[in-house]
Structures are given as C-alpha cells and as structure tokens.
A and B are shown apart, each in its own frame.
Chain A
Amino acid sequence: MTERNPESMGESNRVLTVENLTVQYGGVPAVDGISFHVDAGELVGVIGPNGAGKSSTLLALVNAVRSSSQRLELSGASIAGKAPEYVARHGLALVTEGHHIFGELSVVDNLKLGRVARSSAAGLEEDMEWILGLFPILREFHSRSAGLLSGGQQQQLAIARALISSPQLLVLDEPSLGLSPTAVDTVFAAIEAVRQRGVAVLLVEQRAQQAVAAADRTHVLSEGRVTMTLTPSDASNSELLTKAYLGS
C-alpha cells in the first residue's frame, strides 16, 4: 500500500499538514476550517487575539479536543482521530499553555517522562547534553521538586521535557506567557536553537512582533479563521500587526 497521491511528491519534507480543520464547542465553532502546513526545519508562527482559536487548533492536533478536518497528517501519515499518546509517539511534542509540569515530581522525573514518547534510546545522552546546555538551570535544580521552580523555570522544564522525546515537530502554546523579560529571551533563544538543529516548530504567541520576526511565516488567526499570513519583514510594520490583532 505505498500508493501516494501525486501532490504529496512535492511534500516530501512536509512535517505537518492541516487542511480545513474545524473545532466546535457545543455547536459554536472555535476553529472554522483553517489550513496550514509546516515543513522540516521551518518555524511557523500563529498569532491572534484571545479566543481566536489558537489553543483549540493545537489541542485538535493531538486530538485532545474533538475536531473534523479534510487532512491532518504528521510526516505523511494521518493523525486524524488518533489518541494523544499516538500522536506524541509519532513525533509531535506539544507544550501546552501554562507550562503543565508535574509539580509533585522532581525535575529529573519530569524529564524522564519526556522519554516516554521517544522512539529509540539511541542518542539520548547526546540530546540530553544539548537540552541541558539550552537550559542550564535544569541541571542545577535537577533533584528539586518541579512545583518549587519559578514560572520561567517551569516553562524551560516543559520545553526540555518535550525535546527529550526527540520530536519532528515541536508545538509551543504561548511559551512566553507570564514570564519575566529575561526568561522570555531564554525561551526564544532556545526556540531558535531548536530550529537550527532541524526540528520543525509551530509557535503560538501573544508577542506578535517577536513571533513574526522569528518565524518563516506567521498566520494571523481571528474568529477561527486565518485572516492574514505575515513574513519576517512585516515584523517592523506595527500598523499591520495592530490590524492583525484587532481582527480586521
């Protein structure tokens, strides 16, 4: 069964394909038929006002909310309707909003949970060194209870845990939310390093300017639809960004 549809030949390095994704809560659409894709090594941004459907889109990717779509593929294989753990084990690591770490477990135990979705143990040591290099604070606090870390440290832990699964696609939901300026810089530097390493990144952000500047392209979401797609050169166009946020 290796028949491939001709279109997908041009998508050989496509990591994520989303076509016509819809999420409804009690009949009210939160995400209203959006389409986008992420290729290998790309950083794709998603911005938009609160309630635009950003988090719902991400939760739909791992099937943590019910959705419908024409196509939902991870590296060419359908993930539509698959359990969250299936999607995780096939290379999509989602860092949810509000840095959900396990507060009663130690930092090390939290990191160990990142290995659950990893397909092979090969290269684990090396990855671990790289990740702890990105977030040195985690090495320092490795035996501390994760609940005692600051918000910024917890976010670093959540991203590190996601990276240990060696994902093809790292999905981040508002990683800078509620962080101090220095912590935001650490997080954005880490995201850049992840992309440098060839891992595709899908980044949902409130900080529009920083996201647009960092991403290869940024989709503006409003009322569940993609209303605009911006390139890094738009980052300095504050008029355009404001317009994007007001949901023109």
Chain B
Amino acid sequence: MIPLLQSLVDAVSAGAIYALAALGIGLVFGIMRLANLAHGEIITGSAYTLIFLWEFSWPLALIASAVVGVVIALAMNFAVFHWLRAQSPATLLIASFGLSILFQRLYDAAFGTNVRTAPVGSGLSQSIAMGGIRINILSVITIVLGVVLLIAVHLFLTRTSIGLQVKAASSDFRMARILGVRSGFVIAITFAISGLLAAAVAFALTTQSGAVGPTFGVQATLFGLVGAVLGGLSKLSGAVVGGFAVGVVLSLFTSWLPPWANDFRTALVYVFVIIALVVAPNGLLAGRSKKDRT
C-alpha cells in the first residue's frame, strides 16, 4: 500500500496538470465557443521539443518548448479557426477534431510511431524524506508550477488592460467589439496563453514519463476537457476546479482501487462524467450564467 500522504500529493499533482489543461481549453472556449480537441497536439509539440533539446541544453529546451506551444496555437488559430469564427460550436469542435488527428499523423510521419525518449528533468524524480514519509519532488514541483500559472493567469485577466479585454470579450463578444476591443487581437492573445499552458502541461508530463509519441497529449486534453465541461465551461474557475477534480479522482482511483477494479477506473470516471452531466448540464460549479451567447 502506498502511504496516504504520498498518494494525496500525487493526486494533487495530477489534479494540477489537468487543471492547467482545463484552463487552456476553457480560456479558448470562453472567447471562441471552441472546445479545442487539438489542444493535445499543442502539448505534444511542446513535449517533442523538450525531448529533442533537453540533452543539448535544458534552459533552451524549456524556452523553445514554450515558443513552440505558442506558435502551434497561433498557427491553428490563423490557419483554421479564424476562418470558422462565424460557425456553430459544433462545427468548431469537429474542425478541432480534424486538426487533432491531422497533427497526430504529421507527428507520426515526422518522428515515427514509437516514442522518443530523453531524461527530461531527471534530477527532479527523486524523493525527499519528510517526517518519515517519502515525497516525490516532481509532484511538489508540478503542484507549484500549477499554482504559479493559475495565479499568473488570474492576475493577467484581472489586473491588465488586455486581460480585462479578454474577459469582456469572453462574456459578451459583440459588446466588447463595440467598445473597441480588437477581436482578432484578443483571440490571438488567448490562443497564445493556451499555448503557454499547453507547454507547461507538456513539461509536467514529460518529466514524469520521459517518453513522447504522436498521441502524447490526447489523454491530458480529454480529461482536461471533460473536467472543464463538468465544472462548467461558462466560468473559468469552474473549468479549472473541474479539471483538478478529474485529476485527483483518477489518481486516487489508481492508488486505492482493488486490482480487479483498477482496470475499470477510466470507465468509472466516464460513468461519473455522464451522471454529473445529466445532473448538472451547465457544469457542477457554473451557477446560472447563460452559455450560448452569440
């Protein structure tokens, strides 16, 4: 049996990763009504960058992976989603699905089906003893990274002029434009931030596994999206808490379910997702704010 405290720390760290994924997805959804399934391929792109550059120079790898995340996110916006701005959320969702599969195949063609490996952050995968309990440094760092980024995004949205414009556009896009908010600019900013958040998720996941394949980002994105929808995409805090909760539950299931049931832990999570959606279709934390505004 894994000690309780360690499994809790692991759970919170998994929750932090999915919360970051949910935040990136939720930001873009807020401003575009796009549930971006291709968010995972931004994560994958950043992760490949880390793997390829890590042994050459780790600071460079970190910077480059952030840049790659932002560039892929912006490229997706300008090449595809920009042209679909007038379309329904369902059409945007299908387009992002297509983009996701497209990127997976491109990664496959470029880097092969097999995973690429590098000891990303290998110095971090040690344990420290705290009062007789061993705690994984990596989990702690992931939690810190998550908290710092959540606070940074919060400060950006509430304390800066551009952040306010993003918030305004998320809540009433047309009114924001009538006030002079440049639609293309705030959308691009939002995609860029989602790219940065994807790079952070890529870092956290890559340090855990050290191996990246073409579908590397899919799981984090699916659980992040599921968490965001559960928490309520109409409110960012709801999306973040939802993503966090999904991560925690998944991790605790892994640690504590009996072996026979462990096989079904993903199924259990999705059964819970269905129940939660039916009980509270607008998200468990969403209050009564309206959803489809445009």
Contact = CB atoms under 8 A, between A and B. Distances in A.
A112 B171 CA distance: 16
Given A102-B167, A102-B168, A105-B168, A88 B175 contact: no
Nearest to B167: A105
B175 A96 contact: yes
Contacts of A113: 164-165, 168, 176, 179, 181
B171 A104 contact: yes
B161 interface: yes
A62 interface: yes
Interface residues of A, number: 23
A116 B174 contact: no
Contacts of B179: 85, 88, 113-114, 116-117, 161, 165
Interface string B188-226: 000000000000000000000000000000000000000
Given A64-B178, A85-B182, A112 B172 contact: no
B177 A84 contact: yes
A89 interface: yes
Contacts of B132: none
Contact of A116 (B158, B165, B167, B172): B165
A100 interface: yes
Interface in B205-262: none
A73 interface: no
A115 B161 contact: yes
Given A88-B177, A113-B179, A100 B164 contact: no
Interface of A: 62, 64, 83-85, 88-89, 94, 96, 100, 102-105, 109, 112-117, 161, 165
24 contacts: A64-B174, A83-B183, A84-B174, A85-B178, A85-B183, A88-B179, A96-B175, A96-B178, A100-B172, A102-B168, A102-B171, A102-B172, A103-B171, A104-B171, A105-B164, A105-B168, A109-B164, A112-B164, A113-B165, A113-B168, A114-B179, A115-B161, A161-B179, A165-B180
